[in-house]
Amino acid sequence: MGLPLAGKSKSTSGENWGMGLLLVFFSDDSPSAIADQNKLFPSSSSSSARRSNYNLLTKAQSTISVCALLVFLSLLLFTLSTFDPAIKMNLTPPRRLLSQKPSPIEVPSLENRWIPFRKMWKPKPATVGTSTAALQRMGTLHMRGTRAMADLTVVHVSEDIGEEDLRLFLRLFHRSGVTAKSDSVFVFPSPAFSLRFRPIIQEENESFLKLLRRYRNLNGTASRAAAAGFDVTRFIKTKEKKEPDEPIWGKKMKRLGNDSDELTRMSYGSVVSFDAAEMDSENSLSGFSDHIPMSLRRWACYPMLLGRVRRNFKHVMLVDAKNSLLLGDPLGRVRNKATESVIFFPNKHSKKNSEKSNSHHQVNPAVVIGGARGVRRLSNAVVVEIARILMQHKKSNSVSDSGVVSHLVNSEFSLKNVKVIMAAESIPEASSLAGSSSAPEKMMFLRGNTDNLGEINSVIRKKICSSEIDSSVYTDC
């Protein structure tokens, strides 16, 4: 309508021409024109409607972005799951000699590419094989015994022990008869020490089993008796009507009905080892001093170990591998005692002091024997006492396990729940073995001064190798 009016305004006067131009832009009062006016001068209602439309558009865009991101991540995960890093595209063959034939290019099939994706939805099969874990996925099982034992021997290995010293201790330990009625647990300062001494433990275990078989095949009880200090009759048991219980260490094994007579009559305990970090994972004494030696930290390992096996053993012996040698079974002293009883051996240097004052004893912590309950209570008390002393001195070199145990033994209230028994004699030194020609009657010895350790080791080795059977078993004879 605006165009005809504009054309008509050309034949009229100048005023009509100006109005015609006005009618071209504002010719009709139609709804579209009103809408255009509302756009130029928006009201409050239209602005709120536009704001709501903008919010809806923003939310829709956000939703679409999130969906797109999820789709992208799903495709990415699917691609990564189907990618097998083990499959290598060897498109560039290695260098070869001219005489060699070229190797074909290995291209993986499409079926192999889907194997990792299929494995994600299939349960993993159980591993087949004997586990080397000793107890509850911890420790190492070096030798599994033939039956469950009522006694436990815990041997702690210090940081300054040598390989030959540990080898001699193990050899005498097996020959002493302790393993005939006791399981053995070795506690190492760190995993590095465990790996270092593991071959020595394995070699001595194999020699011990070989020694058992050779002595058992001898005819007559007299020929089986102690030759160079070894008596195989302690490891031979008569047949029992009831089958013995399985050892608690390692994976349980089913007994076969056709076991030979040798296997059913032989009796020896298991040999396992743990690291100090497994028994004392938080190193509970480290907060009181920068360096905690194994002689102190071992007391923090005993509560955890003895707590886990408290229902399996009746008697416990604590032994220092570096400073002691066992030639017999000292656990016989405590088998007829109460479970709260603990036997301590006095230090030889405190013999004169103990005669003057019966109330004060200097205890040698190299060997401690007692009931399982009494030794567990003792270890708890020693840990608390070590922590108390370290808080006062702040230096671990000023604290010794001998002084801590002696203080608890002489205290009236520290070990009130433990029945303390002081042995009448002290543990002799191994220097007395050098001058004796026959096997000594003592069950245990202290290595004593480190200057003559080499001489003592050579004397003991000569006595062991004097037997024809023993010399054929041990490789260093």
CA pair distance 34, 288, nearest whole angstrom: 88
The residue behind tokens 């011990």 is 208
Q: Same domain for 60 and 178? A: no
Instruction: Answer yes or no: is 135 within a domain.
Output: no
Instruction: Answer yes or no: is 119 within a domain.
Output: no
pLDDT the model gives residue 149: 95
pLDDT the model gives residue 136: 87
Instruction: Answer yes or no: is 120 within a domain.
Output: no
Instruction: Answer yes or no: is 127 within a domain.
Output: no
pLDDT the model gives residue 320: 96
Q: Same domain for 58 and 161? A: no
Instruction: Answer yes or no: is 459 within a domain.
Output: yes
Position 243: which residue type?
E
Q: Same domain for 54 and 154? A: no
Instruction: Answer yes or no: is 84 within a domain.
Output: no
Query: What's 312's DSSP letter?
Result: T
Q: Say which residues have a Cβ less than 8 Å from residue 403's Cβ, sequence separation at least 6.
A: none
Q: Say which residues have a Cβ less than 8 Å from residue 432's Cβ, sequence separation at least 6.
A: 440, 445
pLDDT the model gives residue 406: 94
Q: Same domain for 51 and 145? A: no
Beta pairing class for 315-320 and 151-156: parallel
Q: Same domain for 207 and 301? A: yes
Q: Same domain for 39 and 152? A: no
- Picking from 70, 96, 119, the residue at the C-terminal end of a domain is 70
pLDDT the model gives residue 442: 76
Q: Say which residues have a Cβ less than 8 Å from residue 392's Cβ, sequence separation at least 6.
A: none
pLDDT the model gives residue 396: 67
pTM metric for this prediction: 0.69
Q: Which residues are bridge partners to 185 per DSSP?
A: 154, 272
CA-CA-CA-CA dihedral for 237, 243, 246, 252, to nearest 10:
130
Domain of 361, in residue numbers:
140-252+259-473
Length of the chain: 477
CA pair distance 326, 178, nearest whole angstrom: 9
Q: Same domain for 159 and 12? A: no
pLDDT the model gives residue 48: 64
Closest CA to 161 of 200, 202, 119: 200
Q: Same domain for 191 and 326? A: yes
Q: Which residues are bridge partners to 368 per DSSP?
A: 318
Q: How many domains does the chain have?
A: 2
The CATH number of residue 441's host domain is 3.90.550.10
Q: Same domain for 57 and 177? A: no
The residue behind tokens 């656990």 is 331
Q: What does the radius of gyration of the chain's CA atoms come to, in whole angstroms?
A: 42
Q: Same domain for 145 and 56? A: no
Query: What's 135's DSSP letter?
Result: B
359, two tokens: 């109330």
- Picking from 70, 102, 125, the residue at the C-terminal end of a domain is 70
CA pair distance 269, 148, nearest whole angstrom: 7
Instruction: Answer yes or no: is 75 within a domain.
Output: no
Q: Same domain for 154 and 271? A: yes
- Picking from 15, 44, 70, the residue at the C-terminal end of a domain is 70
Instruction: Answer yes or no: is 116 within a domain.
Output: no
CA pair distance 3, 25, nearest whole angstrom: 10
Question: Residue ranges of the chain with pLDDT lower than 50?
Answer: 1-35, 37-42, 84-131, 222, 226, 256-264, 352-358, 437-439
